[in-house]
């Protein structure tokens, strides 16, 4: 019997990670086991750690948390033989505006995530892991707790995982409201009970992470992709996508489309096809104005820049990013001043405050954009917005400053006329 999903699946999807979504009881171990569950772990148990990592490299899987770093390479950085114990951390902080996919992976298929974590634990010889879940996802903490409990009860976690003698403990850890805690090192500080302020790198978490121990940290979706990769081979996964951009990913389509939803599509899927077919076209027959390709941190693309395949490298070529899969579609009626303001309000609210350019820059920009949107903009503000954003760009302690600057620069440069409209309106009133 099928279960109602938040949005109906589409025949255009390639469902690898989400293949169990919609099965009744998909969150239970029984259903998981009946549908290929733990085959990959048992296979991995017979492999050497090097072979597991090699397989992940072959899959061309890139981190799904935003930065798109090659996962296999990251795993190979963890000093497996360090005298300090290794720690696994799952980044389930999902807070990037536009993104809502990790939620589903935990809600519908927590055991796939657990299996992915277990395989990673074999690869880096770790025996404990934490799933850091944003505080707002309390129901997911509970779902994850239940899945973990079930896995312990049935011997898929604990001292003798799946009867192999492998020992692994897994825990959830709830955040309490902070976007910045999605940044991997801020997350580690938060996991240690501190303010979510990022850490200096180096040392990278792989070398000294949680409590100073070597730490492998990946996004929920990244870990969830591991069981299919090991089960069916890295090459098969890679083949689904484009070169260096392996596999499928969950794309969160939102905004002015007829059928918003989370869809699993292969890397390289055409952006226009995503809008027009997967998304059922523009709402109310409006024209496309812009696309946020991967979440609010990514520079926006104008309508005429959107005829591209969605993979990391192409997006980089057009000056944007695939981010964490949050694709937001904007129609011709969208007020880009208000849109820029809303983005800046977000980053200003979420800036941890640690470094000057981000703390003061987002605050200043927010104030200018607010004033602008209130109808008190000055012509010189338009260039000031761009300049101040560039004064943040690349100069902040962590990437949040960049995340605030990049979309803002793209908006003020690509949609200057939206800003000018405010001036015209004001100048007209002044006459």
Q: Tell me: does residue 407 bind ligand SF4 (CB under 6 A).
A: no
> 69 touches which of another protein, ligand FMN, ligand SF4, none (CB within 5 to 8 A by kind)?
ligand FMN
Token pair of 205, please? 């978490």
Report, in Å, the least distance between residue 269 CB and ligand FMN. 19
Question: Rounded to an integer, what distance in angstroms lies between the CA atom of residue 277 and that of residue 345?
Answer: 32
Site string for ligand SF4, 166-205 (x = CB under 6 A): --------------x-----------------x-------
Let me know if 173 is exposed, middle or buried by CB neighbors in 10 A (0-12, 13-18, 19+): middle
Q: Do 115 and 40 contact (CB within 8 A), yes or no?
A: yes
Short-list 359, 360, 415, CA closest to 386: 415
Contacts (CB under 6 A) with ligand FMN, residues 166-195: 180, 182-184
Q: Tell me: does residue 352 bind ligand SF4 (CB under 6 A).
A: yes
The window from 18-26, 110-118, 168-176, 393-401 that contacts ligand SF4 (CB under 6 A) reads 393-401
Report, in Å, the least distance between residue 349 CB and ligand SF4. 11
Q: Do 416 and 305 contact (CB within 8 A), yes or no?
A: no
Question: Rounded to an integer, what distance in angstroms lies between the CA atom of residue 124 and that of residue 399?
Answer: 27
Contact residues for 183 (Cβ-Cβ < 8 A; gap 6+) = 196, 198, 398, 399, 400
The residue among 129 and 227 lying less far from another protein, judged by its C-beta, is: 129
> 291 touches which of ligand FMN, another protein, ligand SF4, none (CB within 5 to 8 A by kind)?
none
- Out of 9, 22, 135, 270, the residue judged to bind another protein by CB under 8 A: 135
Q: Tell me: does residue 330 bind another protein (CB under 8 A).
A: yes
Angle at 315 between CA 309 and CA 321, to 5 degrees: 130
Inter-CA distances, 145 with 50, 57, 261, Å: 31, 31, 26
- Please work out the total of residues on this chain that contact another protein, with binding judged by CB under 8 A: 82
Give 276-284 contacts, CB < 8 A, sequence gap 24+. 277/12, 278/10, 278/12, 278/13, 278/253, 279/253, 279/329, 281/257, 282/256, 282/257, 282/258, 282/329, 282/331, 283/256, 283/257, 283/258, 283/331, 284/256, 284/331
The residue among 96 and 311 lying less far from another protein, judged by its C-beta, is: 96
- Out of 351, 373, 389, 408, the residue judged to bind ligand SF4 by CB under 6 A: 351
- Out of 60, 301, 400, 406, the residue judged to bind ligand SF4 by CB under 6 A: 400
Inter-CA distances, 121 with 56, 216, 235, 282, Å: 13, 9, 21, 44
Token pair of 282, please? 């523009």
- Out of 87, 400, 409, 412, the residue judged to bind ligand FMN by CB under 6 A: 400
The residue among 69 and 139 lying less far from another protein, judged by its C-beta, is: 139
Contacts (CB under 6 A) with ligand FMN, residues 45-104: 63-67, 69, 91, 93-96
Q: Tell me: does residue 150 bind another protein (CB under 8 A).
A: no
Report, in Å, the least distance between residue 303 CB and ligand FMN. 28
Question: Rounded to an integer, what distance in angstroms lies between the CA atom of residue 229 and that of residue 187?
Answer: 27
- Out of 242, 362, 408, 410, the residue judged to bind another protein by CB under 8 A: 362
The residue among 6 and 77 lying less far from another protein, judged by its C-beta, is: 6
The window from 18-26, 91-99, 132-140, 394-402 that contacts ligand SF4 (CB under 6 A) reads 394-402
Q: Tell me: does residue 366 bind ligand SF4 (CB under 6 A).
A: no
- Out of 26, 242, 373, 396, the residue judged to bind ligand SF4 by CB under 6 A: 396
Helix axis angle, 399-414 to 416-430, nearest 10°: 60
Q: How far is CA 93 from the centre of its chain?
A: 9
- Out of 91, 218, 296, 410, the residue judged to bind another protein by CB under 8 A: 296
What is the CB neighbour count within 10 angstroms for residue 107? 18
The residue among 27 and 350 lying less far from another protein, judged by its C-beta, is: 350
- Out of 215, 297, 348, 408, the residue judged to bind another protein by CB under 8 A: 348
- Beta bridge partners of residue 310, listed in sequence order: 269
Let me know if 341 is exposed, middle or buried by CB neighbors in 10 A (0-12, 13-18, 19+): buried
Q: Which residues bind ligand SF4 (CB under 6 A)?
A: 180, 198, 351-355, 358-359, 396-398, 400-401
């Amino acid at each position: 019997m099928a279960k109602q999903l938040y949005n109906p699946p589409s025949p255009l999807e390639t469902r690898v990670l989400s293949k169990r979504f919609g099965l009744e009881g998909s969150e239970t171990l029984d259903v998981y086991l009946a549908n290929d569950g733990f085959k990959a772990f048992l296979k991995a148990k017979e492999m050497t750690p090097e072979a597991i990592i090699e397989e992940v490299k072959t899959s061309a899987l890139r981190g799904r948390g935003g930065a798109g770093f090659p996962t296999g390479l990251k795993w190979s950085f963890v000093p497996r033989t360090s005298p300090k114990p290794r720690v696994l951390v799952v980044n389930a902080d999902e807070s990037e505006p536009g993104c809502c996919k990790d939620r589903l992976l935990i809600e519908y298929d927590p055991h796939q995530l657990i299996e992915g974590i277990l395989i990673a634990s074999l690869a880096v010889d770790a025996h404990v892991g934490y799933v850091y879940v944003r505080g707002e996802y309390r129901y997911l903490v509970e779902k994850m707790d239940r899945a973990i409990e079930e896995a312990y009860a049935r011997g898929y976690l604990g001292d003798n995982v799946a009867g192999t003698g492998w020992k692994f403990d897994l825990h959830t850890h709830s955040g309490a409201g902070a976007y910045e805690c999605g940044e991997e090192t801020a997350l580690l500080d938060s996991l240690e009970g501190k303010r979510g302020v990022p850490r200096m790198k180096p040392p990278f978490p792989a070398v000294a992470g949680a409590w100073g121990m070597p730490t492998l940290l990946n996004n929920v979706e990244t870990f969830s992709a591991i069981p299919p990769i090991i089960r069916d081979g890295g090459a098969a996964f890679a083949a689904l996508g484009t070169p260096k951009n392996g596999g499928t990913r969950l794309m969160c389509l939102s905004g002015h489309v007829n059928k918003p939803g989370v869809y699993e599509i292969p890397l390289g899927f055409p952006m226009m096809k995503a809008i027009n077919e997967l998304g059922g076209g523009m709402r109310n027959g409006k024209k496309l104005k812009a696309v946020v390709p991967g979440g609010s941190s990514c520079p926006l693309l104008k309508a005429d820049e959107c005829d591209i395949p969605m993979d990391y490298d192409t997006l980089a070529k057009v000056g944007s990013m695939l981010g964490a899969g949050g694709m937001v579609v904007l129609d011709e009626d969208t007020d880009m001043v208000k849109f820029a303001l809303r983005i800046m309000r977000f980053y200003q609210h979420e800036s941890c405050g640690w470094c000057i350019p981000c703390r003061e820059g987002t605050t200043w920009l927010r104030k200018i954009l607010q004033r602008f949107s209130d109808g008190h903009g000055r012509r010189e503000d338009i260039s000031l917005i761009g300049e101040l954003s560039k004064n943040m760009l690349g100069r902040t302690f962590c990437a949040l400053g960049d995340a605030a600057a990049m979309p803002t620069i793209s908006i003020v440069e690509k949609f200057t006329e939206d800003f000018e409209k405010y001036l015209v309106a004001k100048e007209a009133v002044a006459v």
